[in-house]
Amino acid sequence: MSRPLNEQLLSITRLGRNFTSTLDGTPDDAAAVVNPLYDGADPWVARHGDTYYACNSTRDGHIEVWRSDSPLTRDHRATVWTPPVRGWNSRQVWAPELHHIAGRWYIYYSASDGRNANHRMGVLRATSDDPQGSYEDLGQLYTGDDIAGKTNNRWAIDGTVLQLRGQLYFIWSGWQDERDIQHLYIAEMSDAATISSSRVQICANNCHVWEHVGEDRGERGLHEGPAILRRHGRVFLIYSASGSWQHTYKLGMLWMDSDADPMDPRSWTKHEQPVFESTDDVFGVGHCSFTTTPDGQDVMLYHAKKSRRDGWDRRVHAQLFDWDEDGLPAFGQPITPGQPIRPPTRTTPQRRAA
């Protein structure tokens, strides 16, 4: 049954902007925020007080930090790191993340010498309290199986940090050996720039068809882009599955109790269904990060493909979300491009066959 027009009009103050929209998604104000937000991939936004800092790499490998009063805008840009002309981190700089740890700003990024098989994780540390200031390069992180000897460092991308009960953990996507098969790994850190344990594989990457490249059981499983979300006494690990170059890219979820041991794979439960996936209008959704709006709404930033064709031409989108009756994040379906980004509704993600 249709609702009266005066009930369809919503006066919304969200995300540092004021606008009015109808429930059919038609903006009444040209300043309404709509998806997609901007060109780019692997979005990362860190909130510090009332300020938001977005971090990204450019096509030529520079790392930028943007400052804004909203998680949906990038207002003031600073280039904080330039890759060396040659060396292990001179090419293919991917997915930088900005973290504030023990009073200092750090950027974690993956890079290579131009050969993908040589991808490793690096860390930068700010030389001041300004996340848009200068950074010093602290080198590679060890992401292998021999923490004592630090031999045979392994392929690694998409690193993020979990701070839990006074302990730091590093979580990333890595290869078990020389084969291009990506799993999620975790290791302890003794400080923000040092991994202090051998890695542990968190879970299998091929439990369900939807986790496989192309959703084809005959293809390899693929996990990457881990992102941490904490609420209701749980730690949620949202990850990307299938191929990032494909329209089947999507988000899966693991979770554990906050008092469990994240280094024990038995602590983690895998959600049997994707928690966020493509629609007819938005496809290839993945590699997310989480923050809150100025008025406290949960918001997810993610990227989506511009075309269903294989490739990596992508834009950044946003999704406000809520939580279901079981205390799990309810992301819903991607908002159709051109529609205002609206408050969340309490809906459970659509179920599908495993």
**What is the pLDDT of the chain when averaged over all its residues?**
90
Average pLDDT over residues 161-182: 98
Question: Distance (Å, rounded) from C-alpha 115 to C-alpha 190?
Answer: 30
pLDDT of residue 32: 75
Which residues neighbour 201 within 8 Å (Cβ) at sequence distance 6 or greater?
176, 183, 184, 185, 265
28 pLDDT tier (thresholds 50, 70, 90): very low
Please say if the pLDDT value at position 351 is more than 90: no
Reference 117, options 92, 100, 139; nearest CA is 92
Which residues neighbour 237 within 8 Å (Cβ) at sequence distance 6 or greater?
171, 184, 202, 226, 227, 228, 229, 253, 254, 255, 268
Cis status, amide bond into 36, omega within 30 of 0: yes
Please say if the pLDDT value at position 108 is more than 90: yes
- 67 and 312 in contact (C-beta within 8 Å)? no
Please say if the pLDDT value at position 225 is more than 70: yes
pLDDT of residue 178: 96
pLDDT of residue 341: 87
Q: What is the pLDDT of residues 37-94, one digit of tens each?
A: 999 999 999 999 999 999 999 999 999 999 999 999 999 999 999 999 999 999 999 9
pLDDT of residue 15: 42
What domains can you pick out in the chain, each with its CATH number?
Answer: 5-330 (2.115.10.20)
Question: Distance (Å, rounded) from C-alpha 159 to C-alpha 221?
Answer: 19
Per-residue CA distances from 333 to 10, 97, 104, 238 (Å): 20, 25, 36, 16
Please say if the pLDDT value at position 117 is more than 80: yes
Question: Distance (Å, rounded) from C-alpha 171 to C-alpha 197?
Answer: 12
Continuous segment of H or E residues that includes residue 176: none
Q: What is the pLDDT of residues 252-297, one digit of tens each?
A: 999 999 999 999 999 999 999 999 999 999 999 999 999 999 989 9
Average pLDDT over residues 102-109: 98
343 pLDDT tier (thresholds 50, 70, 90): low
List of E strands, 263-349: 269-270, 283-292, 298-305, 314-323, 329-330
